[in-house]
Chains A and B, each alone.
Chain A
Amino acid sequence: MAPLQAIEWEDCLLEPVRNPQAERYVRRTLRMVPHAARFFLDSPWIVRAVVRFDLSQVRLAYVRPDLAELIALVVSQENACRYCYAATRSVLKILGLPEERIRRLEDDMLLADLGRPEKAALEFARRVSRATPLASGLDAEPLLEAGYGVDAIKEITFLAALNVYYNRIATLPALPTAPMEELAEHWYMKMLRPLAARFLRARRKPGRPERLSEEHRTGPFAEFVLALDGLPAAAPLRLLIDDALSSPVLSRRAKALVFAVVGRGLACPVSEREAYRLLQEEGLRPEQVDTILANLSSAELDPVERVIVPFARETIWYRPVQVQRRAREIRERLSREQFIELIGVAALANAICRLSAAIDLARNSPPTTVQ
Chain B
Amino acid sequence: MSTVVLLAALAVSLGLVVLLWQRQRSETRRLRERLDAATLELQHVQTTFSRFAPQEVVDRVIARGAAIEAEKREVTVLFADLVDFTRMSERLDPDVLVRILNEYFARITRVISDHRGHVAKFLGDGLMALFGAVERNPWQANDAVHAALGMRDMLEHYNRELRRQELPELRVGIGIHCGVAVAGVIGTHELMEFTVIGSPVNLASRVERLTRVHGVDILVTAAVRAKLDPRFMLRELSPVDAPGVSEPVVTFAVEGFELAPAVRVMSHGS
Contacts and interface: CB of A to CB of B under 8 A. Distances in A.
A143 to B, nearest CB: 18
Nearest to A296: B139
A297 B136 CA distance: 20
B138 interface: yes
Interface core residue of B114, B227, B230 (most chain A CB under 10 Å): B230
Given A3-B39, A3-B43, A6-B43, A265 B138 contact: yes
A103 B38 CA distance: 13
The bracket for how many chain B residues form the interface is 20 to 34
Nearest to B59: A1
Interface string A5-46: 010000000000000000000000000000000000000000
A298 B261 contact: yes
A199 interface: no
B56 interface: yes
B229 A132 contact: no
Interface string B235-267: 000000000000000000000000001000000
Contacts of A295: 142, 229-231, 261
B135 A110 contact: no
A264 interface: yes
A238 interface: no
A17 to B, nearest CB: 33
B254 to A, nearest CB: 15
Interface string A264-276: 1111000000000
A322 B110 CA distance: 12
Interface residues of A, number: 23
Interface in A257-299: 264-267, 293-299
Contact of A132 (B35, B39, B134, B139): B134
A240 B26 CA distance: 51
A82 interface: no
Contacts of B231: 295, 297
Given A110-B63, A297-B229, A298-B261, A266 B136 contact: yes
Contacts of A298: 261
22 contacts: A3-B39, A103-B35, A103-B39, A107-B39, A107-B42, A110-B63, A132-B56, A133-B136, A264-B138, A265-B137, A266-B136, A267-B138, A294-B229, A295-B142, A295-B230, A297-B229, A297-B261, A298-B261, A299-B261, A313-B139, A317-B135, A322-B114
Given A267-B138, A295-B229, 4 more contacts: A132-B136, A265-B139, A296-B139, A296-B229
Interface of A: 1, 3, 6, 103, 107, 110, 130, 132-133, 264-267, 293-299, 313, 317, 322
Interface of B: 35, 39, 42-43, 56, 59, 63, 114, 116, 134-139, 142, 227, 229-231, 261
